[in-house]
Amino acid sequence: MKAVTVVAGTRPEIIKMAPIIRALRKRNVPMIFVHCGQHYDYNMSQQFIEDLELPPPDYTFKIKAYSAGVQTARIMMNMDELLKKTAPSLVLVEGDTNSVLAAALASNKRGIPAGHVEAGLRSFDLRMPEEHNRRLTDHVSGYLFAPTALAEANLKKENVWGKIFVTGNTIIDAVLQHLPIAEKKSEILDKIHFKRFALATAHRAENVDDLKVLKNFIGAFAESPVPVVYPMHPRTKKRLRQNKMYAQLLKSGNVQVLPPVGYLDFLVLMRRCELVVTDSGGIQEEATAPSIRKPVLVIRLSTERPEAVEAGFAKVVGTEKQKILKGIEEVLVQRKELSATSPFGDGNAAEKIVEIIQKEFYI
C-alpha cells in the first residue's frame, strides 16, 4: 500500500498538519512525514514538533537562507528526488509558503496528485508572496480541502481542475487538542510583567521590510493604552537592529519583547491576553477557537480570512499608527461578546480530510 506524504516546512504548517498526522496514524494510513526545511532554526521548527509530541520527520532537508526563488527551487529539487524514491499515493501540503508551492510543483511534475489543505484563501493583494503561492498551489493540486464555503467559492470562480471538499480548518482542531496540554505544561505567564496585556506579532515582508510601517508598529505598541507583549520574529528583530530601533524598543516600559515562543506558550498567551494585534493569517483563525475567543486587530491592508471579520472576531485596521491605536481603544471600550462557535469549523477537519483520502485512495 502506497503512503501519503505529509510535507511541512514552517511552524504554522507543522501546527496545522499535526491533527492530520494524528488522524492518519489513528486510521493506520501509511504515512511519510517530511520537513522540507524552510524554517531550519530549532526555535522555529523542531521545537514545535517536540511540543506537539509528533513523530520525528522521516526526511528532513536543511535549506539555507537563500532568496525566495532559490529557496523554492532547492526545496523543489529535494522533493523531486524524494518523490522519485518513495512514490507516494498523495502529497499533502498546507498553506501558502514557498515550501507548499515547491512540494506541490514537484508532485505535479512526478505525476503524483497533490492535496492542498487550506485551499481557496484569497487576500487579492498581489504584493504578498503568499497570495502567489496559494493561487499557484490551488491550480496544480488534484485535491483541494477548503476550510469554508467562501474558500470553496473562490476556487470555483477560478475554475480549478482539482476536486474540492469543504472540511473546516485544522487550526481549530489543533487549538482544541493542544490548549489543555499547554495550560498544564507552559510556564510563560511567570515571565510576563503585566497582568493585563495585548499580544502582538508582526513578521510579514511587506510590513517589516517597510521602514515607515515598522516605525508605525513600534510607535503604536509603545503608546498602546494596554501594555503589549511582543514575541518577536527573527526577521523583525533583524530589521529593527538594522534601523537602530531595537534598543529603543527594549527601553519602552509599555512593551515586553520576548524571543520566539513555542506553540504551547503562544496558546497560553492568546488565552490570557485582552486582544491580539497581528499581521499573521493563522492567528486570525486561532483566535476564533471556542477555547480562545479573542478580538484581533489585523495590521495589514487586507486579509485572506474575511470569515473572521464577518463573524466579528477580527478587524482590518491597516498599518498607520493612529488607526492601530484607535482600534485597540475601541476593543477595550466596547468589550463585544464574541461568538461561541468558530467560522473555521468544529474541530474535526483532520478527520474529514483523512476520511476523504481513505475513500479516494484506499477503499
At 65, the pLDDT band (50, 70, 90 cuts) reads low
Q: Specify whether 28 is located in the same domain as 158.
A: yes
- Does the residue 36 lie in any domain? yes
Q: Specify whether 271 is located in the same domain as 294.
A: yes
pLDDT digit string (tens) for 147-188? 999 999 999 999 999 999 999 999 999 999 999 989 999 999
- Does the residue 186 lie in any domain? yes
Our count of domains for the chain comes to 2
Write the DSSP symbol of residue 189.
G
Q: Specify whether 164 is located in the same domain as 181.
A: no
Q: Specify whether 22 is located in the same domain as 107.
A: yes
| Residue-level pLDDT at 80 | 98
| Residue-level pLDDT at 39 | 62
Q: What is the mean pLDDT of the chain?
A: 93
What distance in Å separates the CA atoms of residue 189 and residue 148, rounded to the nearest whole number?
A: 34
Please give the share of the chain, as a percent, with pLDDT higher than 70. 97
Q: Specify whether 49 is located in the same domain as 68.
A: yes
- Does the residue 339 lie in any domain? no
Of 32-41, 165-174, 199-208, 317-326, the one with minimum mean pLDDT is 32-41
Q: Which of 39, 193, 203, 233 is catalytic?
A: 203
What CATH number is associated with residue 68? 3.40.50.2000
- Does the residue 128 lie in any domain? yes
pLDDT digit string (tens) for 18-50? 999 999 999 999 999 999 876 656 555 676 788
Q: Specify whether 31 is located in the same domain as 73.
A: yes
Task: Tell me if residue 203 is catalytic.
Answer: yes
| Residue-level pLDDT at 43 | 54
Write the DSSP symbol of residue 249.
H
At 263, the pLDDT band (50, 70, 90 cuts) reads confident
Question: CB neighbours of 180 closer than 8 A, spacing ≥ 6?
Answer: none
Q: Specify whether 157 is located in the same domain as 297.
A: no
Cell of 184: 498544564
What distance in Å separates the CA atoms of residue 22 and residue 187, rounded to the nearest whole number?
A: 26
Distance in Å from the first CA to the final CA of the chain: 11
In order, the DSSP letters of 46-109 are HHHHHHTTPPPPSEE----S--HHHHHHHHHHHHHHHHHHH--SEEEEESSSHHHHHHHHHHHH
CB of 16 closer than 8 Å to CB of 47: no
- Does the residue 341 lie in any domain? no
- The answer on pLDDT for 227 being more than 90 is yes
Q: Counting beta carbons within 10 angstroms of the beta carbon of residue 335, is it exposed (0 to 12), middle (13 to 18) or buried (19 or more)?
A: exposed
| Residue-level pLDDT at 277 | 98
Q: Specify whether 182 is located in the same domain as 160.
A: no
- Does the residue 194 lie in any domain? yes
| Residue-level pLDDT at 207 | 87
Domain limits at 44? Answer: 4-168+347-361
- Does the residue 340 lie in any domain? no
| Residue-level pLDDT at 38 | 67
At 269, the pLDDT band (50, 70, 90 cuts) reads very high
Q: Specify whether 160 is located in the same domain as 236.
A: no
CB of 213 closer than 8 Å to CB of 325: no
- Does the residue 316 lie in any domain? yes
Q: Specify whether 356 is located in the same domain as 295.
A: no
